Amino acid sequence: IQCNPGLTALAREAIGDRFLDDIEAIRDLDTFAGDSAFREKFAGVKRANKARLANLVAERLGIKVDPSALFDIQIKRIHEYKRQLLNILEAVALYDQIRSHPERDWMPRVKFFGGKAALSYHNAKLIIKLANDVAKVINRDPAVRGLLKVVFVPNYNVSLAEIMIPAADLSEQISTAGMEASGTGNMKFALNGALTIGTLDGANVEMRDHVGADNIVIFGMTADEVARVRSETPNPRATIENSRELSQALAAIASGVFSPDDRNRFAGLVDGIYTHDWFMVAADFDSYTRAQREVDAIWSETERWYSKTIRNTARMGWFSSDRSIRQYAKEIWRAG
pLDDT at 234 over 90: no
| 164-217 tens-digit pLDDT | 999 999 999 999 999 987 778 999 999 999 999 999 998 999 999 999 999 999
Rg (CA), the chain: 20
**288, 174 contact by CB (below 8 A):** yes
Mean pLDDT over each residue of the chain, to the nearest integer: 97
pLDDT, residue 251, reads: 98
Share above pLDDT 70 across residues of the chain, in percent, rounded to a whole number: 100
**Averaged pLDDT, 151-162:** 97
**130, 85 contact by CB (below 8 A):** yes
**167, 72 contact by CB (below 8 A):** no
pLDDT, residue 182, reads: 73
| 297-323 tens-digit pLDDT | 999 999 999 999 999 999 999 999 999
Extract long-range pairs of 284-287: CB within 8 Å, 24+ residues apart: 284/83, 284/86, 284/176, 284/199, 284/219, 284/220, 284/221, 285/86, 285/89, 285/90, 285/243, 285/245, 285/246, 286/243, 286/245, 286/246, 287/219, 287/220, 287/221
> What are the φ/ψ torsions at residue 110 (nearest 5 degrees)?
-120, 120
Q: How far is CA 89 from CA 78, 94, 107, 224, 274, in A?
A: 15, 9, 18, 25, 14
CA distance 43 to 215: 17
| 63-113 tens-digit pLDDT | 999 999 999 999 999 999 999 999 999 999 999 999 999 999 999 999 999
